[in-house]
Amino acid sequence: MTSPTSHTLASLAQNMGGGSGLLTAWCGMTDPIMAGLLAREFDTVTLDMQHGCYDIASITNSVAHVAAAGKPAIVRIPVGQFAIASRVLDLGASAVIAPMINSVEDAKAFASFMKYPPIGERSWGPAIPLTMTGMAMGDYLKQANKFSISLAMIETRAAIDALDGILSVDGIDGVFVGPSDTSIALSNGAHVDASHPDVTKTLDHVVARCKAHKKFACCFSPTPAVANDWIKKGYDLLALGTDFMQVRNGARAMIEQVRK
Ligand code: 3PY
Ligand code: MG
């Protein structure tokens, strides 16, 4: 039988923590070849169902291409659609990011779909994870709660106020800061500026509280320079740009070399 320590599905939980500074690609385009390509560059790939174009079929295909590259996949679900969290775990995701978690109640609802009893109420049906790992059903039931990572997004004033409560919820493994929405919330809609000093203060506060609770600190980083700072400050996982940005920036850089 395959040991849980040797399979891709559990590799994210094993490699994350202690300010590991893992880098995740962030895909909104649904082409599985793009996800597989980026999986070969990054530590992991996040597939975005909130603002990206994914549905369940394209998540299934992209998770398979990421797994074929030997890397774990993360899925961001749409706001409040926690049932999709269980579904994407059943499709082979190693972690789920839930946007706009604004209260302890939101966090508990999210955790209940991520974890099997006694922590939550995830329903049984992991055909794809069993196939991917070769695990026996009983082993998967015992171990999946540990390696299926639930990340609650902190990106509103209410979420910042409820941070300690959210981090205290059994079944929430960490938080993921959305700096763009945070900047909009903190400025009452005046601007979107992921690098604003008020967002930086929030990011400092969040990593300190995560360390106090021994939970994962993760964030979205719009630029490599900022990502480097956040790795030094102890973040465990950073999203670095998006597939849209990478394709556009790559195209522009090549065209500029020709036309300069
Ligand atoms: C945000 O910055 O608000 C995000 O959700 C990251 O994509
Ligand atoms: Mg957001």
Q: Is residue 142 in some structural domain?
A: yes
Counting Cα atoms < 13 Å in the Cβ hemisphere of 239 gives: 28
Structure confidence at residue 6 as a pLDDT band (50, 70, 90) = low
Q: Is residue 56 in some structural domain?
A: yes
Q: Is residue 1 in some structural domain?
A: no
What average pLDDT does the segment 157-161 reach? 98
Task: State the total domains in the chain.
Answer: 1
Identify the nearest ligand to the CA of 24 by its number. 1
Q: Which tens digit of pLDDT belongs to each residue from 77-98?
A: 999 999 999 999 999 999 999 9
DSSP-derived 3-state class of residue 162 = coil
Give me ligand 1 centre to Cα 241, in Å. 10
155 lines ligand 1 (CB under 6 A): yes
Q: Is residue 101 in some structural domain?
A: yes
Q: Is residue 53 in some structural domain?
A: yes
What average pLDDT does the segment 237-241 reach? 96
Q: Which two tokens stand for residue 147?
A: 């390696």
- Nearest Cα to 85, choosing from 56, 118, 117? 56
CATH label of the domain that carries residue 235: 3.20.20.60
Residue 68 scores a pLDDT above 90: yes
Residue 31: give the domain boundaries: 8-259
Q: Is residue 187 in some structural domain?
A: yes
Is residue 180 classed exposed, middle or buried when 0-12, 13-18 and 19+ CB atoms within 10 A define those classes? middle
Q: Is residue 2 in some structural domain?
A: no
Q: Which tens digit of pLDDT belongs to each residue from 9-60?
A: 999 999 999 889 999 999 999 999 999 999 999 999 999 999 999 999 999 9
What average pLDDT does the segment 179-204 reach? 96
Residue 244 scores a pLDDT above 50: yes
Is residue 234 classed exposed, middle or buried when 0-12, 13-18 and 19+ CB atoms within 10 A define those classes? middle
How many helical (H) and strand (E) elements, i.e. helices and strands, does the chain have? 13, 8
Q: Is residue 3 in some structural domain?
A: no
Nearest atom of ligand 1 to the alpha carbon of 242:
7
